[in-house]
Structure 1
């Protein structure tokens, strides 16, 4: 009878242990999810607060960005006229890709997919990448929506010149929200964040090139001026770098824990204007 009693207790205990392990596993999954979402919002807040902590090089980069954008403002109309010369020759698939990939809905489908893949496969590096993508897109997307309405710059397709503005819009006014470019910001934010997964400068360059297609497409399609796209591309780098450094403190898997295989800096001078990348 004792043997039967112990056997009965064993059979009864095994399912309970299994249920306990299941609950524990689900709890870990939920804990990871809530921890990651907290880091998404933390990353957004961190990026917005960075100007209060900037030092010499940061302010220099901002000055270069401002000066470079101001210079491009002066040649936007001429650049748009130059684009007219090959606008019709740009392949439709490039324009379609650029317009669709930079769309906010498609962007969040992609970034959310990356994050969920990391969450369910328990891959911390992929989870962190998803958090970086989502928080960067959220920070830059909100910033773009507010600034575009406040600035109210005319799009090329409006028929007005680049110097025409209709600022302080409460509701969106069609063709008067060119600066900055939301499609460019979302697309290049993704490209810059994903490129951090790779050490090869050639792979990075390839990813950056793909990430710049939406900006190019928006120029050729008459939605943005060159300065809109150039400014948005560089600002995307600022945001991703800021949030990535914040996530260094939150995850064991880091992208910035060893010597940099790639560094960037803004350069502006009499014969130099642009983004200097060192391999």
Structure 2
């Protein structure tokens, strides 16, 4: 638990050490989030129009997978498995899962309260904000379900080198965030920022844990990764390259 809280502190202080490339990444995420914000109404309309085509099992999975109690049950099980099996790589993975979930979870809760963006289901519109509004309908930005599940997906995908396995894990990881748009609980820009936050928090904590553990799940030099937004006609999408 010492590593968990130290990793969170390390991550929160990283902006104090940012350099040129880091600010470019921040600008890219901000621009992408704003781009989605501009078309939030369009995306919401398309998702709701096709909600009946989505199997209920996916919508239910999105809710349960992103619930904090279920998430910590899973991450805790990973750590304990590594502890009792005396597997340092699996134990490190458990610490990465727990610390990343704790870091992103606290950050998104604080942001939700401070920003006070109205949920789409409240029918107040995407431009309605009530900072520190208190009510649950003013806690849309960002998505807690999207943060926790994509955090897990990114950590787990790091365990594998096969690109198809990685792609499958990420596909499962984005389902909860997308399901929250279908549920009219979050805007697309809320979910995208959640995914981006998860990605960078996991990367920061992984660097910190390199100092604490001798063994890593993947000892080869990591491939360069990138997260970007694409536009094509009337389509918009997030692209993760690995």
Q: Please indicate, yes or no, whether the TM-score normalized by the shorter chain is above 0.5.
A: yes
Counterpart of 1:95 in structure 2 is: 59
Are the aligned partners of 2:230 and 2:238 in contact in 1 as well (CA < 8 Å)?
no
Q: Secondary structure at the match of 2:225?
A: strand
Please report how far the alpha carbon of residue 263 of structure 1 lies from its aligned counterpart in structure 2 after TM superposition: 2.5
CA distance in 2, matches of 1:77, 1:221: 14
Are the aligned partners of 1:245 and 1:256 in contact in 2 as well (CA < 8 Å)?
no
Task: State whether structure 2 residue 127 is matched by structure 1 residue 163.
Answer: yes
Aligned residues: 239
Counterpart of 2:153 in structure 1 is: 191
Task: State whether structure 2 residue 138 is matched by structure 1 residue 203.
Answer: no
2:225 to 264, 273, 278: 264
Higher gyration radius (CA)? 1
CA distance in 2, matches of 1:113, 1:259: 28
Moved segments of 4+, more than 3 Å: 266-276
Counterpart of 2:213 in structure 1 is: 251
1:154 to 113, 118, 121: 118
Please report how far the alpha carbon of residue 257 of structure 1 lies from its aligned counterpart in structure 2 after TM superposition: 4.3
1:218 to 171, 174, 180: 180
Counterpart of 2:11 in structure 1 is: 47
Structure 2 gaps, min length 5: none
Q: CA RMSD in A?
A: 1.7
Task: State whether structure 2 residue 35 is matched by structure 1 residue 68.
Answer: no
Q: Secondary structure at the match of 2:13?
A: helix
Q: Secondary structure at the match of 1:263?
A: coil
Please report how far the alpha carbon of residue 166 of structure 1 lies from its aligned counterpart in structure 2 after TM superposition: 1.1
Q: Secondary structure at the match of 2:37?
A: helix
CA distance in 2, matches of 1:153, 1:58: 27
Please report how far the alpha carbon of residue 266 of structure 1 lies from its aligned counterpart in structure 2 after TM superposition: 3.7
CA distance in 1, matches of 2:218, 2:19: 19
Counterpart of 2:76 in structure 1 is: 112
> CA 1:249–1:217 in 2, change beyond 3 Å: closer, same or farther?
same
